[in-house]
Structures are given as structure tokens and as C-alpha cells.
Structure 1
């Protein structure tokens, strides 16, 4: 029996959670409190979409916790039109998505790891910005948009490679779509008119010829990889504290780590711009932009290396 066999499937499902109107955290704190917690070392950070909004990648939810974007499910993607719908929009949005750069919050968190205060980053994001900023131990709970996987033969390709293939199959599509494209979405795609989507050609797998190429991310309705989940739990169980950054914790895939930490008696600090589903579990709660809080924390925190 493998160690991961004891890990139950961590299925990612859409959440209808929304904070009550006017909801306020029952626990608050200051930068000095956060500094004291981080200076204890052994911190595991759990990051969500709010970590990357200052890099130009939007969140699924607004500051009030209300969902602004309805994400695609795996069942929708497996439909022939669904795959075409996704890849046409992702093809147009890819250059802008990849142009996003780590913000000062990413850099500050990487600096805290370099000093030996943060042990690991568990991220719900799929943009790769933590690694680009210099974070060394990053567990991508929901996968990454930088690679593509074939559902038929399990071959893995770089996303840039698929982008070139889509360009060859759809000459001139990007130019036609340029005038119609909307703002970038959390998944790196953009909204396009239906008539453009209908004519888009999806690339086949170069290894097996199958037509089931999928971004290497966890869609709603799928389960996170057991080995990744197991490593996340291992990090929580060896941590001294959990620091939640930019996540509403609306989805259970992130909230369950907060619940595990709370059951273990670990301090749980949450820093976001709005309410979260885990606020009642927090021992320390700060509200503010991560691009301000994290650099200030990195400046104030001890240097241990």
C-alpha cells in the first residue's frame, strides 16, 4: 500500500459560499503580530488568486466574496465544443497571461523563504509566478498552465509548443480575434464571440493522435493529484504556523488545510482584501493588499540566514 493510498480524493468543486453582508473578521491583528508569528519560522504559506491580482491576473471573486467569473468544469471541457471553446480563448489570451510578472508580494514571500522563515508555499494558483519570483518549494495544488497533458496517452507538452501548433492550425485567428477579445480571465483565457469559437481548430496529440489535450490544471469536478495533496498535508503537519495569503478559502481544496492546521493547534494567520470562509479559524487576521503587507513584513522580519 502506497502512502498516498490513505489520502482521500480531493475533488475540486464550485462553491456557493458567500459571506453574509457586512461580515467582519472576529479576530484581527497588526503587522507586528504577523512579524512575531513569521519570526518563529516553520511557516507554510497557502496562497490564492489574490496573490496574483497585482500582477494583472484577476480573481474569480470580488472583495465581497461574490463570484465574478464562472469557471469551466471538466465535463464541459470534455464536450467537443467545450474543448474548442476553451482552447480558442486560451490561444488568444496566452501571450498576455505569460506576460504577467511576479509582483512585490511574490518577491517578498520568496525572500522570507530565502531567510529560512517560510518553509514552503502551497498555491491554488496555476500561473507559475511564485517560482519565477524565486520561491524554491512550491506545491501547485491545482496544477499549472505552463504544461499540457493528453488525456488519452498521458503525454505532457510545454504550453508554448501547443501555442505554436494552434497558430499553424488557425492562421490569422489571433488577428481576427484581437478586436473582439475582452479582458483576461483567471484561467488565462479571454471572452470571445461564439462565431469565432465555432471555427477554431484544436490540435491533436503529437504522440498518439488523440484529441484530448487538456491544460495541466485541475478543473472543477476533477480531483487534485494524490501525491501533491499528500505532500501538502506533510508540510502542514511539520509546520509551526500557517499563513493564508489572498485566498477566500471558498473552495474546500484550500480550506481543508486550514482546518487541519487549526485541529493541530497551529496558529493560522490570514491576510486578504476581504472576508474568507476560514475566518473563524484564524488566530490572526489582517485586511489589506498583499503588495503592501508582504514587503513590509519582509522588511520587519528577522534574518536567520
Structure 2
């Protein structure tokens, strides 16, 4: 462990020791799996497609799906990194009582999490904007390949992958769209775009998850999020308002820093692995700590 990290890491371990935790994770947790983030140090300025643009018509949808068709082949090869696995280990020990992720890559589920809220949805699911049927992105990929043979192979590896699983591809006008297999309607990834609201029931469940810490002496652990958007920041504000300690692990400053009891400026894999290792070495488990079940608080 680097000396510069040792002191804040020891402080974080002391603050979190013996407490039930809820984690809030962002894109910085998945960078070690090869998925770039939006706002990490050194990240270029990115402009993702907004919900309004996507629903404007076939031209925008063609641009999105052409880029996603190429990017999906890369993104689906990503696997959980040590940070994901450390959080999953903490959940198995009963230390981590729930996880709220802003990521859409599905890697927390692959790591084995059960008490998980995919706040912004999962890129592996597709929704029809007409009949609202949910279907598989993997199946859609096969349909796109049949409709656009050789398209993905024609794009060179030098084309940059974007955080949401698409690529920064300029020429997309020749790409052929496919519609919903049930009704023929337009398809959209079942994720929350910029300018789109997070489904209310997910927000209610996430607040309930944080509220469940209040009477149990728990803490909120933020990992890999700059908290730039209110989607995640609101849960940090809610925790701080109700005297639930907040510990932030992130490279670079975040909007939640003034509300945090402690911030560790370091990579998630390193810090979370150290936290899980310390709990394991000490035999730490908090399964018998009284704590309301957040899912019982949800509607």
C-alpha cells in the first residue's frame, strides 16, 4: 500500500469497522474492467445522446444503434474487477446490506450481488417504446448482425469506446434498424438517458435502503462517482441530513465532498479490496446488527 494512501485508508477502515453499509457506485468503479467513465481525471469531454434526441426519430435512433452495435461487442466482454468482487464479498459477510449503482454495465450482478438497485437500468435489456415489452440486448445484437452483415467488422479497433457501451463512430447512415419483434415499434436500451427520469419506484427503494441505516449506526460508502448529477447526489444529501456518515472513494473531487465524513482519493479496486481484506482478516461480520429490511419499506 502506498504511503500516501495508508493514512486515509486507515481512517476509512476505522470509520466503517463494524457498521452495516450501503454502497453507491458510479462509473469510476468499472474503469478497471476496461469501461471508460465520463468525468474521471483525464477523461475527454463527452456528449451522450439525450432522451429527447433519441425519441426524435429514426435518424437519431440509427446513429445510436449503429454505434451501440459496434460497442456492444466490446462491452459484453467486460468482467467484474477486484472492486466489484470486494463489494460482493462484503455483501456475503453481511457487512454490505445493499448496493445502489448508477452504472448500466451489469457487472455488479455478474459479481454475485443480490441486494442491488440498478438505478439507471441495464444495457443488457431493451424496451420497445410502443408496447413496452422488455427483451434481450444479446438477441437484438444477432438481429442487427443479420440486417447489417459485416458492419461491426468494418470498424477498426482505433475507434474509441464510450462509457455507455457505444463507440464514437461518425458515419452511420447506412445502418439498418430493426423493430420490436412483437409489434414492430422502435427499440431503446432499457437505461435512463440524460434528460429522462429515473423510475420512481427505484428512487423510493434507494431512499429506503439509505433510511434503513439510520437506526443501525450504518454508513453510506460512495465508490467511483463524482456525484455530478443529482441522480446519485440526492442519496448522499439524504444520508448526511440524517446523520448517516458518508465515506467517498474516488479519484478526484466530487460534489459530495462537503457532506462526507471522509474522502479517499484513490482507485476503487485498491481501496475496496483493502476494506474487504481487513474485514476478512478480522473476521468482521455484522449479520446480527438490527437493521430494518429496506425492501420491506419499499412500496
- Which interval holds the TM-score relative to the shorter structure? 0.7 to 0.9
Maintained 8 Å contact 1:243/1:268: yes
Residue aligned with 1:96, SS: helix
Q: CA RMSD in A?
A: 1.6
Q: Using the TM superposition, give the Cα deviation of residue 31 of structure 1 relative to its aligned residue in structure 2, in angstroms.
A: 1.8
SS of match in other structure, 2:76:
helix
For 1:273 and 1:111, the matched residues in 2 are separated by 23
- Which SS does the other structure have where 1:244 is aligned? strand
Q: 1:138-287 maps to which residues of 2 (within 5 A)? A: 138-176=116-154, 178-179=155-156, 182-194=159-171, 197-210=172-185, 212-239=186-213, 240-287=218-265
Distance 2:241 2:88 in 1: 27
Does 2:14 correspond to 1:36? Answer: yes
Unmatched 5+ stretches in structure 1: 1-27
CA contact (8 A) 1:60 1:70 kept: no
| Distance across 2 between alignment mates of 1:219 and 1:250 | 15
> Which residue of 90, 98, 114 maps to 2:92?
114
**What TM-score, normalized to structure 2?**
0.88
In the alignment, which residue of structure 2 is the partner of 1:25? none
Contact 2:28 2:40 in 1 (8 A): no
Secondary structure at 1:223 match in 2: coil
TM-score by length of 1: 0.86
| Deviation readout 1:218-271 (Å, 9 max, x if unpaired) | 001111011111100000101211010000000000000000000001100001
1:33 Cα deviation after fit: 2.2
Give the distance between the partners of 1:298 and 1:118, measured in 2 at CA: 10
Shift, 1:71, TM fit: 1.4
Q: Which runs of 4+ in 1 moved over 4 A?
A: none
CA deviation vs aligned residue, 1:26-64 (integer Å, no higher than 9, x gap): xx9622222233323321100000000010000011327
Give runs of aligned pairs for residues 11-50 of structure 1, distance below 5 A: 30-50=8-28
Residues paired across the two proteins, number: 273
Stretches of structure 2 lacking an aligned partner (at least 5 in a row):
1-5, 288-299
Match of 2:49 in 1: 72
